[in-house]
Amino acid sequence: MAVAGLGEFAWDAAAGLFAVSARMAAITGLRPGPAPAKTTQALEPFIPPEQSRGPDGAYEFEFRHVRPDDGRTVCLRVAGVLARGPDGRLLSVTGVVEDVTSRKLEEDQRQTLLAELDHRVKNVLATVLALAQQTAKRTTSLDAFLANFGGRLKAMGSANELLTAARWRGAAIDHLAAAELGALAPGQTAWDGPELFLTPRAANALALGLHELAANAVKFGALSVETGRVNLRWSRLPDGGFELTWTESGGPTVSPPVRRGFGATLLEQVTGRELNGEAAIDYRPAGVCVRLRAGAAAVAPRPETVPDAPAARVVEAVTTVAGPTNLRGARVLIVEDAVLLAMELETGLSDAGATVIGPAYELEEALALLGQPIDAAVLDANLNGHSVSPVAEALAARNVPFVFATGYGETGGAPGGFDAPVIRKPYDVTQVASAVAELLQVNRSHPQSRP
């Protein structure tokens, strides 16, 4: 009992004593040793109600106990047995006590985290639905909708990846800037400012805002030409908030838009309000200038865990395969445990001309399909809690190229250290098709280049 952390007690009706061991005294704050007790009143907290007792007198229950010595509240687990005589009269009670305060605290924290996760998931789904509806209202073609909506989802995904790495305690502005601008136009973008962390709500809002600015700069602004530049600067404000300025230069001459788009609405209304501040867009002829002011409520304390700055997105678009993606004749294995995503991949790859093998939703299914001729594969990193590494190892041993399409945010490259491209979820299925086409092209040019 000492090794198990248990304390023991006993009540004897004939002797009229309630005995508490030294171990139980340390756990409960009661006085150790025997004490006069002709009735069970002294040990009532350690005996459950009549309906909770078993037919053989055994019982077990948990309750909160206020220690009489120091007033602390602890959670106790009690297990005991009541012995009765032939006439049913209670003769003795013997039991053990365990301090389960830490376990109960962990359970309470787990329930709190699950409730918080449920809340965040519902918020994310509601936000995605709102983005879809607002994007659809302001686009005139399906292709435009998919491009705009997909880009906004990627911005949300980048922010969530950073927040997850910091255990949802905050995301650094420079990391948000790097995630959105780092691989967009090398040499044409720059960002600078003091170390500053945002709350999850503010981080998501700013990620969406930066995405809208970047997308507009690539389509119409400074990043649409090689001579253009984008400078992002931020500074702290005396009230605890911050000010961020986006400045474009060297691009086409700017004039105010005739029609107000969703991007401007999102910046001025959504982003400004979510940051507890305001946003203003100035369409200067030399380049767009946007100023965001955020209140102190948008700033989070520095997290205990600060992730490294994110690497540039490994695969956001594949540009080396010219023209429409052509996978005619290619046999492509799909390994993906999300049924809807697998269906979308199957449709997209089939439309590009590929013969789809699978999809495999479980590790065992994927391993069973490896006996077929395979030219390339698309792998999810995790299949219902199981690593896809056995499949990747088998493919690599056969010199079959593969691409990871995953939601895991590993900044050090491909999952498991494999030499393979990575496409982060959420993705456009055309990216996957293009990545597969490029892999096949490289593999044909260098058939022994992979391990």
CATH topology of domain 331-445: Rossmann fold (3.40.50)
**Model confidence at 238: pLDDT above 90:** yes
Lowest mean pLDDT among 123-132, 319-328, 346-355, 402-411: 319-328
Region 161-188 average pLDDT? 75
CA-CA distances (angstroms) from residue 173 to 94, 113, 298? 61, 25, 11
pLDDT at 243: 95
What's the chain's average pLDDT? 83
* pLDDT of the residue at 230: 94
Is residue 154 predicted with pLDDT exceeding 80? Answer: no
Q: Quick one: pLDDT band at residue 316, thresholds 50, 70, 90?
A: very low
Compare 427 and 226 and report the one with higher pLDDT: 226
**180: Cβ contacts below 8 Å, ≥ 6 apart:** 155, 158, 207, 210, 211, 214
* Percent over 90 (pLDDT), the chain: 39
CA dihedral 386, 388, 390, 393 (to 10 degrees): -160
**In this predicted model, what pLDDT tens digit does every residue of 30-86 receive, in sequence order?**
999 999 998 888 888 898 877 668 888 899 999 999 999 999 999 999 999 999 999
Supply the pLDDT for residue 289.
95
Quote the pTM value. Answer: 0.52
Name the residue ranges covered by the structural domains of the chain. 7-99, 116-298, 331-445
Q: What is the pLDDT of residues 258-272, one digit of tens each?
A: 877 767 777 777 677
116-298 folds as Heat Shock Protein 90 (3.30.565)
Give the model confidence (pLDDT) of 383-434 as tens digits.
888 889 999 999 999 999 999 887 665 444 567 778 888 887 767 788 888 8
Please indicate whether residue 58 or residue 165 has the higher confidence score (pLDDT).
58
Angstrom distance (rounded) from CA 378 to CA 359: 10
Backbone Cα Rg of the chain: 31
What digits encode the pLDDT tens for the residues 104-144? 988 888 887 777 667 666 666 666 776 677 678 767 788 87
CATH code for 7-99? Answer: 3.30.450.20
CA distance 344 to 432: 11
pLDDT for the residue 318: 36
The reply to whether domains 7-99 and 116-298 share a CATH topology is: no
pLDDT at 241 over 80: yes
SS (HEC) of the chain:
CCCCCEEEEEEECCCCEEEECHHHHHHHCCCCEEEECCCHHHHHHHCCCHHHCCCCCEEEEEEEEECCCCCCEEEEEEEEEEEECCCCCEEEEEEEEEECHHHHHHHHHHHHHHHHHHHHHHHHHHHHHHHHHHHHHCCCCHHHHHHHHHHHHHHHHHHHHHHHHCCCCCEEHHHHHHHHHCCCCCCCEEEECCCCEECHHHHHHHHHHHHHHHHHHHHCCHHHCCCCEEEEEEEECCCCCEEEEEEEECCCCCCCCCCCCHHHHHHHHHHHHHCCCEEEEEEECCEEEEEEEECHHHECCCCCCCCCCCCCCCCCCCCCCCCCCCCCCCEEEEECCCHHHHHHHHHHHHHCCCEEEEEECCHHHHHHHCCCCCCEEEECCEECCEECHHHHHHHHHCCCCEEEEECCCCCCCCHHHCCCCEEECCCCHHHHHHHHHHHHHHHHHCCCCCC
More confident residue, 378 or 218: 378
Count of CA atoms in the C-beta half-sphere (13 A) of 181: 27
More confident residue, 10 or 256: 10
CA dihedral 253, 259, 262, 266 (to 10 degrees): 70
Highest average pLDDT, of 19-33, 207-221, 306-320, 323-337, comes from: 19-33
Would you say residue 451 has pLDDT above 60? no
Confidence of residue 341 (pLDDT cuts 50, 70, 90): confident
pLDDT of residue 313: 40
Nearest to 310 by CA among 172, 152, 105, 107: 172
Q: Under 8 Å CB-to-CB from 121, ≥6 apart: which residues?
A: none
